[in-house]
Structures are given as C-alpha cells and as structure tokens.
Amino acid sequence: MVEAPRFELKDMPQDFYRHLLQMEGLIVQHLDLKLYHLIKLRASQINGCAYCLAMHTDEAMKHGETPERIVSLDAWEESPLYSDKERAALAWTEELTLIADSGASRESFEALKPHFTEAEIPWLIFAAVQINSWNRIAISTRSQYERATSASAPAAEKTPEPA
C-alpha cells in the first residue's frame, strides 16, 4: 500500500523551493535538455523515486525522447541506444548517486573529458546533485505525481521543473 503524502511539495518553504527551481533554470541553460532528462531518470531509478520517474518520463517524452530509450535506460550499458557521450554522463550520474559506494572514481571522471568541456563538467555534477536532492525530498515527503495536473500545463522548451 502506498503511504499517504506527509505534506505537499507546494507546502514546503517557498524560499527554498524557489531556489531549487532557480537552480533547475541554471542547469538547463548549460546542458542538453534530453541529456538532463536521462540524468534525472537514471538517478531516480537508482533512488527508487516514483514521483520523479513519472514526472521525468512525461517531461522527456514532451521534449522528444523515445519510449524505447526510456525503458532501456536501466540497461544503458548493454543497449546500443545511447551515445558514448550519454554513456559517460550516465556512468558519472550513477557514481554520484551512489557516491558512498563509488567515491566518484577517476575513471568515470576521465571518461567525461572526451565528450564534455571543462566548463560543462561542473554542470553535470550540479545536475546529479539536483536530481538527488529532489529524489530525497519527494521520497521523504511521500509526494505523489499527478499526471493530469501536469499534463494540462503547456510544454515549453528548457522550462525548469521540480524534481
């Protein structure tokens, strides 16, 4: 049985929420939106965040991601559907999400360098940190994603969204 929400995301301190959304806006200015959605989905899979998985599946689809790539994401290492650049970012995302286990290895960090500039790599870090923060907020509050509410909002290019 799914536990009832402990409180609604809209009821969290508005200053904090506003700053998280501002960070989303900064990140999407520096990363490819499709890649950011993959990062969000992969971290959310690892963390088991149902709210974020539902939201970012919807958002990724709105921005042109294919269902095949979304459902194959858990097996990205074995799937031919992802570019080498995406693979490097996904490996890095996994290490940062599981940092207590991996410690953010030199190998994964070095694997980013052929695909991302020195200016882009910090944004990959921020992207992983951001979605891991949202996952922890959504899981701890037992937030439930309401597709009907979200679906009524118009899709905009590079619009920051929570979680």
Q: What pLDDT does residue 161 have?
A: 55
pLDDT digits (tens, 9 = 90+) for 143-163: 888 886 544 343 444 445 566
pTM above 0.85, yes or no: yes
Stretch 59-81: mean pLDDT: 97
What is the C-alpha radius of gyration for the chain, rounded to an integer number of angstroms? 15
98: pLDDT strictly greater than 70? yes
The span from the CA of 99 to the CA of 39, in Å, is: 15
Reduced to 3 states (helix: H, G, I; strand: E, B; else coil), residue 124 is: helix
Arithmetic mean of pLDDT, 48-75:
96
Percentage of the chain modeled with pLDDT above 90: 77
Question: Which pLDDT score, from 0 to 100, does residue 163 have?
Answer: 60
Q: What is the mean pLDDT of residues 78-88?
A: 98
The CA angle 28-145-99, to the nearest 5 degrees, is 55
